[in-house]
Structure 1
Amino acid sequence: MYKFVENKIWKTTQHTFKILLNLLSKYYFILIGLYFLQKTLHLVQYPSISLTSKIYLGMLALMCFTVYSDIRNDIKLIPFLILCIPFFAFIFYIEQHGYAFWGKMLHWQISRKIVVDLNPIFSKIPFNDGSFARIYKTETLTWFFRMVYNNGFVLPVLLAVYRSTLAKDFKKMLRYILSAHVVQIFLITPFYLIFHLQEVWFVLGQPDGLDRHLSPSAAAGVALNCFPSMHTSICFAMFLLVLRERNKIWKCVFGFFCLSVIFATLYLEVHWVIDVFAGMLLAYLTVKLVDFILAKGKVLVQKPLDMFYYKKKKAIYVSNYYLETMKN
């Protein structure tokens, strides 16, 4: 009798644990979202904490609550997590050493003879200074566009990658990171080495829209490399890719953020109109190039993916037809 009760308790415990594990595997994103929402509401109580930090945590919460329709249920969790290890190690490496690499490139660039100076050319083109973007200008708008611009080089990519990770979509993670800095840096560097173009405010002798309090010598160095606008190319690439997501709320919010960064480059007199259009073209070509690379790459690794990454298909016989369904 005692052994029977003990077995019953053990089976009940196993069954309960299995149910909880199944619920966790299906609704883990809600728990993560609630955590970020709680952190956001907690920080709201402290005026000393920057509004940027609160908005960032709020975006993370929204990212979690809108991911359900994009979650992949046809992949195995363990192989996915194994692939995430080198992926995020690479991102961490870029975060730690990327700016040092960029600084070396700028140093080398400054030491070379300028091939084409675009400053006098761009400054004479009508409406190229983006003055139409500043017809209506307020302190609130200036604060907003400074915030999105200062966070618009890295944050859009990280948010997109984090959300794709929650969706358990490694291919999407690769597509976002490749379409951003990884591929663009190689495509855009030749332009920066050949063309010399500085920010609108610096060339026209206006106050710095970003209010960076730069000395004249520092400003001359910082305001380099405008053609094409990499803020624009990064954010427009993310915008093109977010249009492929299923959740409409995330599309609207994240898309608005990306487009706001692009508009901020004009509003703050950082980039010329031609820079922005060139950046958008670069983004489009990069996304198409990455699509091509991933399509070709998938053909090469399709067999091991089917064996180790994707869940096995199960055939079901219904009304004289075989239907292939995925085991969740």
Structure 2
Amino acid sequence: MKILVVGGGGREHALVWKIAQSPLVEQIYCAPGNPGIAELAECVHIGADEIDALCDFAKAEQIDLTVVGPEVPLTMGIVDTFQAAGLDIFGPNKAAAQVEGSKGFSKDLMARHGIPTAAYQSFSDHTAAVAYIREQGAPIVVKADGLAAGKGVIVAMSEEQAIAAVDDIMLDKVFGSAGASVVIEEFMDGEEASFFAFTDGKNILPLASSQDHKRVNDNDEGLNTGGMGAYSPAPVVTDELYKVIVETIVRPTIDGMAKDGCPYSGILYVGLMIKDGQPRVVEYNARFGDPEAQPLLVRMKSDIVPVLQACARGQLA
């Protein structure tokens, strides 16, 4: 098989490293890749968001399977483009990728299907958002609706900090169009964990848990980042809790999206907050976590390629 991995970070390096172990694979390309990846795959000078160029490359090189690392090409519709060209590709289509591309979409999905999460309201009007913060008080969480590279979530410990965050997002447009609307939600305390499951839109194959550490400074201080490091498994996710997460969160999410006419295929990342043994959803991501993919894939003993292909083809048994 010839495989193309889209992206150029630590997550993609981990994916390429794991895919390279498969006896099914003859050649791996990575676009754009990085110097570490170049030791394992042929790096191609095409950006992860250059969807038409990637599709042309996949056709020209007769790529058997494309694996998408980052969220941006997924929310741009890379899967739709490749599928229309008759190419196998691992990841959700544009409609399903809204679970990460729009905080409002994902929160509404959870509300519709009874999936445990924080209480919330969505706002496209700045004045109404500020009034809601005044009404709810602090601590409270402010989220830009769209993609902001893992930096669009502000945990505000005071009303003033929350209002300043809304000003930054909605008035000053610090995240551009991602801040056209905001989700304001209840502050959840507890311990965070990340949970991943492969799915073909109907069947699910849960993976091990992991935990990433987002704060930029030591001692869990400073602003949130996309992730400073991760380990797996997360001790907070016991065997019993693992089953609860699958039954009350992962399965209802996949079934709910199918019921909504928006089936989700690929890997579903569920960011969790766990308190008193009860999990609630912080967020969904439409792809492998970065950095969580690194410890997860190092721990994985089985060949990943048949699973990726089965998800892409709707054949995950």
Scaled to the shorter chain, the TM-score interval is: under 0.3
More strand by share: 2
More helix by share: 1
Rg larger for: 1
- State the TM-score, normalized to the length of structure 2: 0.25
Q: Which has the higher contact order (CA 8 A, sep 6+)?
A: 1
